[in-house]
Amino acid sequence: MIKHLRIDNRLIHGQVAVTWMNSIGADKIIVCNDKVSMDPIQKMALPMAARGNTVYVLSIADTIKYAQEHPDETMFIICKFPSDALAVMESGLEIAEINVGNAAPIAGTQYVMVTKSIAVTKEDAEVYRKIAEMRGGVLTSRLTTQNETENFLNLLNKSGL
């Protein structure tokens, strides 16, 4: 079961490895992104950043396959981009919770800072809205477990996206 899916282009960092894993109570972290899954340096470094947690760095297709083949495991999936998360959702997998965590600006894109830590392009906003639509019109954002949960669609609207 996918207990939590987080969209965070920083992927694994101390906050994720300790605070979020303790809060979620998942068995493992799956980093889900096609490009990252083909990068041998990231495949080596990301598990080291997870401070002893089990980590798999998988493509979108392999993440979906793994989740389908291991329904009894509790998974924390971290998607680098909203498009990665949408692809996982479109597979029909059950996801208990989805959270937009962080999206650093990407050079060369036309982005709007929706929060101090989330940059969104018009294309990203469309994907986030599709995700929300698949979740009954709800998509939340929470940077850390100590932060208040925010309605991400409201943040997009306030930013003109």
Sign of CA dihedral 75, 78, 84, 89: positive
First-to-last C-alpha distance (Å) of the chain = 32
DSSP string for 34-73: HHHHT-HHHHHHHHHHTTT-EEEEE-HHHHHHHHHH-TTS
13 counts as catalytic: yes
Of the residues 3, 10, 13, 135, only one is catalytic, namely 13
| DSSP code, position 149 | P
> What positions carry a catalytic annotation?
13
